[in-house]
Amino acid sequence: MSWPWSQLGLPGPSELSEVRHAYAEKLKTTHPEEDPEGFQRLHSAYQLASRMARQQKRRPEPMPQPERPARPEPSRPPEEEFNYEELLRDGGEQPRLRREEDGEQDFNFEELLQDGDGPSRPPRGPEEERDFDFERLFAEGEAERAEERRRRGEARRRAQAQARAYARERQKAQEWTRQRERWQRQEQQNVYDRERRDQFSQEEARWQNTETILHTLEMLHNARAPLGEWEKFFASPLFQQNKDSLDLIFGLEDFVSSKPMPREVRLALFLAYGFDKGPSRPELRPLYQMLLPDWRAENHEKIHERKLAILGVILGLVGPFILGPLLDMGFISAFFVSLGVVWIAWVIRKVVRTGSMEKRARGGKVSKKDELRAMLGFGLAVVMVLVLGWMRSNPGRGLRDLLPTRDPREQTCRYIREDFGVEVASLYNMNDNYATERYGNVFYLKDTPNRQFLAGPDGERDIKNGRPGYTTNLPEMLLLWELRDFAKDHKMEPVDSLDRGEVRQEAGGVHLDQGLEQWETTGTFLITLPIDGGEDIIRDLGELLDRLKEEKWYKSLATRCTLVLCSQEMEEGRVVMIRTQPGLTVYSTAQCLGLYEETFAHECCAQILKELELDRDFMGEGEERYTLTNEGKAKIQGLDCYKLFGLDGDGEVAMEYYVYPKLRNIYCLPGNFWETGNTEDQLGFYRLLYWGDRGTFNLFYPWLRVG
């Protein structure tokens, strides 16, 4: 396929209409601004193909030459008879010979040889004139060349403009690159300057801190400060943050080697650097070698004290068997009592011997009997002080409480009376009817026998380390009884104790299954609030909790109790407003009132709408669930109702809900109810809704009119 036709997508030489059609199709994909070179090639191909198509059309088609039979031998044609009389007539028409056999046409040569004055030529046909109209052809070619030149000029100008734009953009990019490099160099220089300044500041601060530490050590040494001040300074952030500084380490070496520091202070410095595990850095080894002898001497004394402690333990084990009545307290209690006696005796002995040594140093004489009498006197005084102190701290206790008891339940009652100030007794020991395994750990309040709780011995009693010697749920039960009295006084639903082992939580609420004995509780208490009008309950509850804070048992609740303010039981659980731990956090009345007034009622109303299956197009039996939103309060038919919007999947208001809990009225309005000119007078009772065994609701729906 030759060039102009391949450019146009033609198989070969074609007619002018096909060339134009192909050119028009190619122009759809070859735009002069997007591809000026391709457009130029296409246009040149179109001009050449058009010109060749016109020339082909003007060229006459060759006539098919008929096959001539073989010419016979020339023979003389028969002579034609002429009328010579006619030929000789004046003005007669000259005869013409017919050459029909050869197919030749006779010509009037005289007319052909005539000048322009002679008769005119026969008119040419339109096709013949078009084929030989060279002026028009030249004009068309010139116009096409002029158009081509114009297009080339426009393409060239656009290319030049684009090149200039590219040059400007390139220049801007180069300027921006140079500017950015300048900024980067400046930023690097600024960072370097900041690092140098910071390094200088750190060096200066380190020198100042080193001087401050050494000066403080000098002042403590000159003032002969007690060991506690030295330990406090060694544990201070100033010393701990700078103790690895080489300048401070060298200064401490000079200070320790030149100052007669007490051994306790040297040991405190030894431990401040963690030398008990060895020096962590080679630079610390000289200081470690200076303080190591004091550490070894201290360990030697500890070993001696440990041996004395082992001896005391042995005496404590032997003591209960020597003092037989102690065994009535139990072996563990008797062991600690005898061990305490041994320790007191050892302290008294040390005090007496120290005093005797001082007296002998002053030149006095002290006999062994005097030392023994002094030890006995000191021991008796210590015992009297302990007894009087115990009786002063426990004014309600008698001498009977000093006597040991073999019944662990009685001992538990004593511990509870000491810790909570409440008189309790064991239900197991009450009478033979309760002397069963079921009531083995059940106790009760002496003034209210029907209020029962659980308790039982649990190891040895050690108040300082948080071991009371028993376990009980009395604080939780006391709080539960207070809350139940509170609910009864306010005519509320009874306070429930949530059974954590049987909790079912759904839709943001909680279900509970009660299977607890009257003396059992899990520590999670549910207070049921009304949907509307519960502000006074929240305030009175805050006053109750503030009053209970002063009780001894209330402080031991810690994290074991949780107070849940929630709605009544619904089909899918309860709506929880707030959870608080009375023994750990402070009950905020203002916070609870804010939540109650802003969100609680709307959440309850939304849950009711969901359970009644009104959160959809219930009139048209639609299945799409609406998203319910809190819209505050609004008046409907003179009632202050809680307003909620039901949003469809596109976020448009599909339904408006107005809930009045006191009368259990629900007003449902279509989303465009007010826009279409409807009024609340059209609202009327629609039907009665049954909410399981929790009562009924009155559903109101408007009679709509066409807007």
Please give the DSSP secondary-structure letter assigned to residue 457: E
Backbone torsions φ then ψ of 643, nearest 5 degrees: -100, 130
Pick from 356-365, 485-494, 601-610: least confident: 356-365
pLDDT band at residue 502 using 50, 70 and 90 as cut-offs: very low
pLDDT digits (tens, 9 = 90+) for 282-311: 888 888 888 888 888 878 767 876 776 677
Q: Decide if pLDDT at 130 tops 50.
A: no
Asked whether residue 54 carries a pLDDT value surpassing 50, the answer given is: yes
User: What is the pLDDT averaged over residues 546-561?
Assistant: 78
More confident residue, 400 or 381: 381
What confidence score (pLDDT) does residue 97 get?
40
* Mean per-residue pLDDT over the chain, rounded: 76
**pLDDT at residue number 403:** 47
Number of residues assigned to the chain = 707
Burial class of 101 by CB neighbour count within 10 A (0 to 12, 13 to 18, 19+): exposed
Q: Tokens 């090639």, residue?
A: 41
Choose the CATH number for 3-55 among 1.10.3470, 1.10.287, 1.10.1070, 1.20.1300: 1.10.287
Average of pLDDT values for 126-137? 48
User: Is the per-residue pLDDT at 10 higher than 60?
Assistant: yes
Cα 288 from chain centre: 50
pLDDT for 680 equals 86
Edge to edge, the sheet with strand 683-690 lists 627-636, 639-647, 653-660, 665-670, 696-702, 683-690
pLDDT (tens digit, 9 = 90+) per residue, 345-374?
A: 767 666 666 666 555 544 456 566 666 666
Residue 405: alpha-carbon gap to chain centroid: 59
Q: Which residues pair with 443 in a beta bridge?
A: 426, 453
Within 10 angstroms of residue 657's Cβ, the number of other Cβ atoms is 23
User: Is it the case that residue 194 has pLDDT exceeding 60?
Assistant: yes
What pLDDT does 359 receive?
A: 57
Distance CA 194, CA 188 (A): 10
Classify burial at 416, counting beta carbons within 10 Å of its beta carbon; exposed 0-12, middle 13-18, buried 19 or more.
buried
Segments of the chain assigned to CATH 1.10.287: 3-55
Which amino acid does the sequence have at 72? P
Nearest to 639 by CA among 654, 618, 622, 661: 661
Dist CA 499 CA 520 (whole Å): 10
Structure token digits, residue 187: 């930023």
Q: What percent of the chain has pLDDT over 70?
A: 71
Q: What is the pLDDT of residue 74?
A: 47
Q: Which residue has the higher pLDDT, 161 or 131?
A: 161
pLDDT tens digits, 511-541: 444 567 888 888 888 888 998 888 899 999 8
- Give pLDDT, residue 122: 47
- CA–CA separation, 18 vs 15, rounded Å? 5
**Is pLDDT of 179 > 60?**
yes
Instruction: Give the per-residue pLDDT at 657.
Output: 95
Inter-CA distances, 662 with 45, 139, 540, 604, 613, Å: 91, 100, 22, 13, 20
Phi-psi region of 459 (alpha: psi -120 to 50; beta: other; left: phi over 0): left
Which residue(s) pair with 566 in the sheet? 528, 576
Please report, to the nearest 10 degrees, the dihedral formed by the alpha carbons of residues 40, 43, 47, 48 taken in order: 60
Q: Does 244 or 135 have the greater pLDDT score?
A: 244
